């Protein structure tokens, strides 16, 4: 069933489609800091400058004028910013779909942080407390479980994201069954080393190429069975023919036709605009504070990151290329 919100999104999409700069979906990285320390993540160690509340609010208003439909706040752990509610409420008032990715630690203690949100992605890597807390930090399991209950209780669209490695690979179907019991859609993704925010010291935990392909085959099979997988089968097929799964991206000859940088964008905490976090382009970003939002968005359209095997990013490519499978999945989610 098509909802009133989806009709509004569709009309706004069509209205702004003829523009040269079309930031329909934005990942807004509010900070690198975190209240946990995942064994595979070095995001809190990457130095950055933070934009102020006022700067973020000005950016949100400009994004709305350019047609932004959905904004996902992430970090680090975005909820530890004291101005997180203010920034989220501004995006909500502007008519954007507001989403966040959280470990749940802060939300479990301050449920009101969920109030300006429409979608919540909770990071949960294992249903075994000792495994999850080994991977994410002490207390992470209880924080995530509590946040799932709070989010569902408020009627928000709620998802689980499971970072896969050798430590929890055998728990994949158990997590899916858990999510189905809660009425939650699940996303799982292999941890990709060789990307800026991932800690190479944990590389021994990486899945083998055979395990990665097996994961994608299983996700395709479960999706065809109608199970509660977040993305369409299109998004999982790329990895099955990817030549070297130890490499996340390949470059294009000339400018890429990837949707990243054209329809969806990533804003760093300091205002740099990049196509997406794991991009492999030879690319020097422009900065919103220094160069202006429009110029930073215009500049990021042209890069040479040609392709990747990430299910999340391939779903975005398929959606903005109006592929039927991705569109059907979008409408199913409501």
- Kindly report, residue by residue over 121-147, the tens digit of the pLDDT: 999 999 999 999 999 999 999 999 999
**Nearest-angstrom CA–CA distance, 218 and 236:** 9
Q: What is the CATH number of domain 21-333?
A: 3.20.20.70
Three-state SS for 122?
strand
Q: How many CA atoms lie within 13 A of 81 on its CB side?
A: 26
Q: What is the mean pLDDT of residues 314-322?
A: 90
State both tokens at 210: 């055979």
Instruction: For residue 229, give the nearest of 173, 284, 283 by alpha carbon.
Output: 173
Neighbours of 182 (CB within 10 A): 14
**Nearest-angstrom CA–CA distance, 117 and 88:** 7
What are the CB-based long-range contacts (under 8 Å, 24+) for 4-10? 5/97, 6/330, 6/331, 6/334, 8/95, 9/69, 9/97
Average pLDDT, the chain: 94
| SS3 of the chain: helix, strand, coil, percent, to 5 | 45, 15, 40
**Nearest-angstrom CA–CA distance, 97 and 82:** 21
**Does 256 sit behind a cis peptide bond, omega within 30 degrees of 0 on the bond before it?**
no
Taking only the tens place, the pLDDT of each residue in 88-109 is 999 999 999 999 999 999 999 9
Cβ-Cβ contacts under 8 Å for 149 (sequence gap 6 or more): none
pLDDT in the model for residue 329:
86
- The answer to whether 289 and 281 are in contact (CB under 8 A) is no
**Nearest-angstrom CA–CA distance, 108 and 222:** 31
Q: What is the mean pLDDT of residues 289-296?
A: 98
pLDDT in the model for residue 6:
79
CA dist 258 → 195, 265, 279, 280 (Å): 19, 11, 10, 12
Neighbours of 324 (CB within 10 A): 10
pLDDT at 12 over 90: no
Q: Residues of the chain with pLDDT > 90: what percent?
A: 84
Instruction: For residue 317, give the nearest of 245, 196, 199, 236 by alpha carbon.
Output: 236
State both tokens at 317: 């490519």
pLDDT at 334 over 80: no
pLDDT at 1 over 70: no
Q: What is the mean pLDDT of residues 199-203?
A: 87
Taking only the tens place, the pLDDT of each residue in 21-54 is 999 999 999 999 999 999 999 999 999 999 999 9
Cβ-Cβ contacts under 8 Å for 83 (sequence gap 6 or more): 53, 56
State both tokens at 121: 């992605």
DSSP 228-248: -BSS-THHHHHHHH-S-TT--
pLDDT at 216 over 90: yes
How would residue 164 be classed by pLDDT, with cut points 50, 70 and 90? very high
Phi, psi of 308 (to 5 degrees): -155, 170
Taking only the tens place, the pLDDT of each residue in 58-73 is 999 999 999 999 999 9
How would residue 327 be classed by pLDDT, with cut points 50, 70 and 90? confident
């Amino acid at each position: 069933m098509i909802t009133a919100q989806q009709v509004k999104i569709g009309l706004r999409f069509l209205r702004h489609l003829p523009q040269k700069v079309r930031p329909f979906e934005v990942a807004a990285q509010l900070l690198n800091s975190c209240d946990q320390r995942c064994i595979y993540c070095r995001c809190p160690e990457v130095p950055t400058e933070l934009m102020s509340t006022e700067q973020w609010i000005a950016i949100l208003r400009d994004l709305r004028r350019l047609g932004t439909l959905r904004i996902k706040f992430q970090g680090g752990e975005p909820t530890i910013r004291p101005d997180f509610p203010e920034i989220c409420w501004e995006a909500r008032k502007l008519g954007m779909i507001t989403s966040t990715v959280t470990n749940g630690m802060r939300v479990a203690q301050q449920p009101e942080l969920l109030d300006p949100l429409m979608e919540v992605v909770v990071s949960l890597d294992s249903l075994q407390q000792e495994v999850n807390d080994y991977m994410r930090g002490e207390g992470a399991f209880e924080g995530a479980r509590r946040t799932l209950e709070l989010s569902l209780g408020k009627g928000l669209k709620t998802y689980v994201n499971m970072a896969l490695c050798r430590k929890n690979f055998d728990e994949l179907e158990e997590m899916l069954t858990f999510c189905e019991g809660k009425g939650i859609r699940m996303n799982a993704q292999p941890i990709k080393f060789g990307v800026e925010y991932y800690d190479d010291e944990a590389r021994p935990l990486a899945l083998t190429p055979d395990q990665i392909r097996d994961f994608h085959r299983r996700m395709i099979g479960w999706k065809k069975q109608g199970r509660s997988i977040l993305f369409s089968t299109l998004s999982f097929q790329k990895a099955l023919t990817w030549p070297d799964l130890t490499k996340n991206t390949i470059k294009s000859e000339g400018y890429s036709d990837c949707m990243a940088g054209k329809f969806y964008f990533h804003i760093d905490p300091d205002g740099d605009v990049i196509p997406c976090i794991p991009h492999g382009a030879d690319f020097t970003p422009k900065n919103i504070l220094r160069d202006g939002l429009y110029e930073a968005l215009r500049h990021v359209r042209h890069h040479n990151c040609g392709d990747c095997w990430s299910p999340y990013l391939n779903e975005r490519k398929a959606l903005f290329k109006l592929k039927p499978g991705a569109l059907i999945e979008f409408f199913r989610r409501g």
